[in-house]
Structure 1
Amino acid sequence: MSHPTHTTKKKIVVFASGSGTNAENIIKYFQKLPDASVVAVFSNKRSAKVLQRAHDLNVKALHFDRDALYNSNEVLHILEDINPDLIVLAGFMLIFPQDILNRFPNKIVNIHPALLPKYGGKGMYGMNVHKTIIQNKEKESGISIHFVNENYDEGEVIFQAKTEILGEDTPETLAEKIHKLEYKHFPEIIQQLLQKKPQ
């Protein structure tokens, strides 16, 4: 089946602050597909393992500091040059500045390891979320994929998936369950968002 030559690949940019297992999963998922790819990974931490993961997969890896994100607009200018179809936050710990949100409306998505609006907001990330959920004896948890706005975890929710919490679950075993949901659903939802026609 021949593709028309004028179709250009959709471009994804990933922001991550840590080890980058979700970022790696997303890169590999799209490397198998003809119509989109991760073109760059940004991290605000020079030592973040995600930069090495990106480099190993032949994806441009960029480190920036807070000044480049919030003051000098350097990150915004690089994003404008790339002109991504979607910006994906995969374990990115800083709040996104308004000028980038304004420049890429409805093109920035985040994944959160809980069922928003519960267990969202400042300080609610990673193991903090799972510990709090276990302490509160919740019966279920899950993931939320949502658009990013100027507040932590408050943008419109696009998709949620749930997992049951059993009596013997610990924060660590819950984290494992959540990771499985992230790996399964996050690339698929990104793909669906890219296939949607702009409004």
Structure 2
Amino acid sequence: MTEILEPLGEAQIAVFVSGEARGSNMQALLDACMEKRILGEVRVVVGTRAEAPALARARDAGVSVHVVSPRKYEGQEDAYAEALLRLLQRYAINLVCLAGYLLRLPEPVVAAYPYRVLNIHPALLPLFGGKGMYGKRVHEAVIESGMKVTGCTVHFVDNDYDTGPILVQRAIRVFDEDTPETLAARLLPEEHRAYVEAVEIRTSRWLRVEGRRVVTYHP
């Protein structure tokens, strides 16, 4: 099945983060909006825990912050989805960016925002993805695998972990002396560039989605 995606135009962005997210990818999007490299703005940041460092960072930047705790809705995915959708509608969001959001996004949210939810993963998907593969675990797996390159992937979100169509990837070398920490530190600037590039592509270009392939489309 082929899907044709029109450019979103001006992006009204919601960023979702989890409890330990530091917010550097969120900050990259904020900076790109401020510098007009992205047409649009980050209107709200939604966290799962009030103490998330990313939320403090968002408040310092003057962005509206909300906490929607999944624990409050444990066993009630539809209610959790409704709470998220109310926020997205309240802020007239047309693009959701997951940035250190470690949960599977509820299906009703994905369905309400088809090809308008992006996620960034610190590996070259489809390698080293899936439930439980995030942060240091990914970099440990890359080093243990003997891979000589790694990278990051920005993809559209579907109803599983890290399986949606790929929009942008960037790669770096894996050195013999690398540790998970050094690899993560070297990859992080590429994550920032990739996320900004992906949002710019989604807002400004026509796209054709063929299975997991995303290609630029000229109508």
TM-score (norm 2): 0.82
Question: In 2, Cα distance between the equivalents of 1:88 and 1:165?
Answer: 27
**What letter corresponds to residue 111 of structure 2 in structure 1?**
N
List gaps (5 residues or longer) in structure 2. Answer: 1-8, 209-219
> Paired residue for 1:53?
57
Q: Answer with 41-50 or 79-88: which moved more.
A: 79-88
1:171 pairs with one of 160, 172, 180: 180
Asked whether the equivalents of residues 20 and 50 of structure 1 are also in contact (C-alpha less than 8 Å), the reply is: yes
* Shift in alpha-carbon separation, 1:74–1:194, aligned structure 2, 3 A: same
TM-score (norm 1): 0.90
> Paired residue for 1:70?
77
Cα shift at 1:56: 0.5
> Secondary structure of 1:19's match?
coil
Cα shift at 1:9: 4.3
> Paired residue for 2:27?
24
Asked whether the equivalents of residues 153 and 170 of structure 2 are also in contact (C-alpha less than 8 Å), the reply is: yes
Asked whether the equivalents of residues 20 and 53 of structure 1 are also in contact (C-alpha less than 8 Å), the reply is: yes
RMSD: 1.8
List gaps (5 residues or longer) in structure 1. Answer: 1-7
After superposition, what is the alpha-carbon deviation per residue over 1:121-173, rounded to whole angstroms, capped at 9, x for unaligned?
01100000001111121111000110001100000111111111111111111
Asked whether the equivalents of residues 14 and 42 of structure 1 are also in contact (C-alpha less than 8 Å), the reply is: yes
Question: In 2, Cα distance between the equivalents of 1:198 and 1:61?
Answer: 31
> Paired residue for 1:44?
48
Question: In 2, Cα distance between the equivalents of 1:61 and 1:95?
Answer: 20
Q: Which has the higher contact order (CA 8 A, sep 6+)?
A: 2
Question: In 1, Cα distance between the equivalents of 2:176 and 2:118?
Answer: 32
Question: In 2, Cα distance between the equivalents of 1:45 and 1:129?
Answer: 23
